[in-house]
Chains A and B, each alone.
Chain A
Amino acid sequence: MKHTLAVTVDNQPGVLTRVATMFRRRGFNIDSLTVGATENPSISRMTIVVQGDDQIIEQVTKQLYKLVNVIKIVDVTHERTVERELVLIKVKADTSVRTEVMQIVEIFRARIVDIGKNNLIIEVTGDSGKIDAIEEALRPFGIAELVRTGKIAMLRGCRG
């Protein structure tokens, strides 16, 4: 199954390479990986979605901990979390279907961030399920381009 790991690391050049190299060398598969700054400028936060059974996830976690720049790992898969992903979708929509597309955007509480002659760019944030759903809904109109950020996650409440 898919696990979501929230990994805090030193904010230094090369740390992403170290993490990626470890995954490659040990043959673990990354579904998605996002990395960004945190409230502390010396620390970055990675959200790694990785596929595997419990034994594999245990090895992934232990091998990650062996990297000197890794500070903390929390497997948030079974925790109460807020998960978000951002996606930009360029959908083909001339004037004849625009209203229909805008209704879908409304239903999903997405936003239109650019209007071209024959297409719209739609911004959606949400969990993976919501993003998959709006993608399905827009597909019949023709998706010209799509880019997803990968998932970020945060534990609810005080822990973590």
Chain B
Amino acid sequence: MNCKGAEILINSLKKQGVDTIFGYPGGVVLPIYDVLYDSDVRHILTRHEQGAAHAADGYARATGKTGVCIATSGPGATNLVTGIATANMDSIPVVFFTGQVASHLIGRDAFQEADITGITLPITKHNYLVERTEDVERVVKEAFYIARTNRPGPVVVDLPKDIMDKFIDYTPDDSEAYIQSYRVMKGFNAGQVINAAELIKQAQRPVIYAGGGVIISDAAEELRELAEKRKIPVTTTLMGMGAFPGNNYLSLGMLGMHGTRYANYAVSESDLLIAVGVRFDDRVTGKIEAFAPHAKIIHIDIDAAEIGKNVAVDIPIVGQVKEVLHAINQRLEVVEEMSEWHQAIDRWKLEYPLRYPASIEGRIMPQHVIESIYDLTQGDAIITTEVGQHQMWTAQYYKFKNPRSFITSGGLGTMGYGFPAAIGAKIACPDKTVIDIAGDGSIQMNIQELGTAMQYKVPVIVCILNNQYLGMVRQWQGLFYKGRYSNTDISLQPDFVKVAEAYGAVGLRVTETDQVKDALREAMKVDDRPVFIDFVVEREADVFPMVAPGEPLLNMMGGDE
């Protein structure tokens, strides 16, 4: 069969089961877009390449499938960089295809040339520059294989224009990807599983510390079995939200810098920490030497390099979280009670619940908006966020019930992530209510994606908690820089209702606490376009409790009265 490179590319994508691509055309990807013109693969045209990157990432997080994104060379490719780094830090499988100038021009500073494989080397799981049309099918296969297996992550495939244009005699190759230097991790150390089960049986004050790896490994059920069998309290990281139901009596909510007091107390007092699919991030551990000081640590993760990276552990188990938990569960019997430990935790829960000040001079408290969203959706929506105060309040006050229902940039902390990610998630899951909880700062970083949501009739709801500040930075300036609010006041801002309306979307403004739920209900009725709700909230609300950076988890500020 005589085929050109771009045809082989799209054909190879179809064989990977790709049904949706997020992208933005340009000069050197014209051959690819010409093939897409009459292909049945759906292409979602965003309004900025960064939007395409985050949308593909949101699509991947909502479904567990590998996201796909295309951009042109040079600025198109460099505009993806934040999106690639975001996916990399959170271990999200996305394959990014970038156009490249024609082979004979590479290295000559040609128009719109950028060394994107060089640029993305440290922020991808792997990347490729395709040098021959004959390699296109194999590279696509390998890229998807690498992106989705073991610890997932982004892969960049750079495609010079002439490689896409060239015709070759093509015979489809349906064999599996084979890479001599890359093997899919199978099995685990059975001896360590026995040791882990023994430690769990002996523990008096165990805590499970669960992260994004549980969700990636599809192990929420196994985690729940372990917790419920042995009555072990569970705290999750930001990335682990939804790995364990937030309304379960064993749930401690989030731990770490903005974790609950009872989660941080429980970890600090525990005699056994079962760390599952986590990487002991500084936002979780606080001062590392003082983290879980009395605990033996079991660390289960697919990535051997995470073992011992930040803390020394007693029992490392490298393997698929799902398989390892299943094996551990099989060695454990049900216990009825853990009364002393649970009594201590219940006391902390009673004494230090999450709380926030009552409304100040009648203004809406941002936490109240999130509680209202929870009341109306009962944990059944997909929630995305931007980055900052609203993100932490969401983690605190929305009780996530299911895996893949919380989509947020945890590792990189990318403002402007939530709106395009919500569009990607809604396109992947059209039957779910999808809500982006945003700040007035973050939403302005990718607000142009209103155009995308309008074009494809994507009814996502954007709840802007508008305090006219870059709120988290302002909070730190208040706490650590004597209240000198340097460059965090953004009260000069557009009328978000009118911005939405200018695009043809629905815009609502809420200024009174008793209108919050009505506005949300109204927004949920809209099914053919995005809705912006501008919640005008208390300007100087802070996220508490809080552990200052570098402090031990026990040194918590706020949230105790």
Q: Check if A70 sits within 8 Å of B181, measured CB to CB.
A: yes
Which residues of chain B are within 8 angstroms of A3 by Cβ–Cβ distance? none
Q: Check if B303 sits within 8 Å of A66, measured CB to CB.
A: yes
Is B126 interfacial (CB 8 A cutoff)? yes
Give the segment of A57-65, A83-91, A96-104, A108-116 that binds chain B: A57-65
Which residues of chain A are within 8 angstroms of B179 by Cβ–Cβ distance? 68
A10 to B126, CA, bound (A): 14
Which residues of chain B are within 8 angstroms of A18 by Cβ–Cβ distance? 121
Is A71 interfacial (CB 8 A cutoff)? yes
Question: Chain B CB within 10 Å — which of A65, A68, A71 has the most?
Answer: A68
The minimal Cβ–Cβ distance linking A97 to chain B, given in whole angstroms, is: 49
From residue 143 to 187 of chain B, which have CB atoms closer than 8 A to chain A? 146, 179-182
- The answer to whether residues A62 and B118 also contact, given A10-B181, A71-B180 and a CB cut-off of 8 A, is no
A58 to B306, CA, bound (A): 11
Is B194 interfacial (CB 8 A cutoff)? no
Is B305 interfacial (CB 8 A cutoff)? yes
Which residues of chain A are within 8 angstroms of B309 by Cβ–Cβ distance? 59
The minimal Cβ–Cβ distance linking A11 to chain B, given in whole angstroms, is: 11
- The answer to whether residues A71 and B308 also contact, given A18-B121, A25-B122 and a CB cut-off of 8 A, is no
A18 to B307, CA, bound (A): 22
A58 to B308, CA, bound (A): 9
How extensive is the interface on chain B, given as a class? 10 to 19
Q: Check if B304 sits within 8 Å of A65, measured CB to CB.
A: yes
The minimal Cβ–Cβ distance linking B203 to chain A, given in whole angstroms, is: 26
The minimal Cβ–Cβ distance linking B30 to chain A, given in whole angstroms, is: 27
- The answer to whether residues A68 and B126 also contact, given A17-B121, A59-B309 and a CB cut-off of 8 A, is yes
Is A95 interfacial (CB 8 A cutoff)? no
How extensive is the interface on chain A, given as a class? 20 to 34
A72 and chain B: residue at smallest CB distance: B181
From residue 46 to 67 of chain A, which have CB atoms closer than 8 A to chain B? 55, 58-59, 62-63, 65-66
Is A81 interfacial (CB 8 A cutoff)? no
Is A9 interfacial (CB 8 A cutoff)? yes
B151 and chain A: residue at smallest CB distance: A66
- The answer to whether residues A62 and B121 also contact, given A10-B180, A68-B146, A69-B181 and a CB cut-off of 8 A, is no
A25 to B180, CA, bound (A): 25
Is B513 interfacial (CB 8 A cutoff)? no
A77 to B104, CA, bound (A): 45
Q: Check if A21 sits within 8 Å of B181, measured CB to CB.
A: no
User: Contact flags (1/0) for A7-34 with B, using CB distance below 8 Å?
Assistant: 0011000100110011001000000000
Across the interface, A9 reaches (CB within 8 A) one of B129, B146, B181, B304, namely B181
Q: Check if A21 sits within 8 Å of B304, measured CB to CB.
A: no
Is B217 interfacial (CB 8 A cutoff)? no
Which residues of chain A are within 8 angstroms of B118 by Cβ–Cβ distance? 17
Is B299 interfacial (CB 8 A cutoff)? no
Across the interface, A66 reaches (CB within 8 A) one of B180, B305, B308, namely B305
Which residues of chain A are within 8 angstroms of B303 by Cβ–Cβ distance? 66
User: Contact flags (1/0) for B110-122 with A, using CB distance below 8 Å?
Assistant: 0000000110011
Q: Check if A14 sits within 8 Å of B181, measured CB to CB.
A: no
Is B125 interfacial (CB 8 A cutoff)? yes
The minimal Cβ–Cβ distance linking B138 to chain A, given in whole angstroms, is: 13
A59 to B182, CA, bound (A): 18
A26 to B280, CA, bound (A): 16
Which residues of chain A are within 8 angstroms of B125 by Cβ–Cβ distance? 68
The minimal Cβ–Cβ distance linking B272 to chain A, given in whole angstroms, is: 23
From residue 119 to 142 of chain B, which have CB atoms closer than 8 A to chain A? 121-122, 125-126, 129
Which residues of chain B are within 8 angstroms of A55 by Cβ–Cβ distance? 308
Q: Check if A71 sits within 8 Å of B121, measured CB to CB.
A: no
Question: Chain B CB within 10 Å — which of A58, A62, A70 has the most?
Answer: A62
Residues of chain B touching chain A, judged by Cβ–Cβ distance below 8 Å, are 117-118, 121-122, 125-126, 129, 146, 179-182, 303-305, 307-309
Please provide the 8 A-B residue pairs with the shortest distance between their CB atoms, ordered closest to farther: A62-B305, A71-B181, A68-B126, A25-B122, A68-B182, A21-B121, A62-B304, A63-B305
The 21 sampled A-B contact pairs (Cβ below 8 Å) are A10-B181, A14-B129, A17-B118, A17-B121, A22-B122, A42-B180, A55-B308, A58-B308, A62-B304, A62-B305, A62-B307, A63-B305, A65-B305, A66-B303, A68-B125, A68-B126, A68-B181, A68-B182, A69-B181, A70-B181, A71-B181
Apart from the given pairs A17-B118, A65-B305, A66-B303, 11 other A-B contacts in the complex at a CB distance below 8 Å: A9-B181, A14-B117, A17-B121, A21-B121, A21-B122, A22-B122, A55-B308, A58-B308, A68-B126, A68-B181, A68-B182
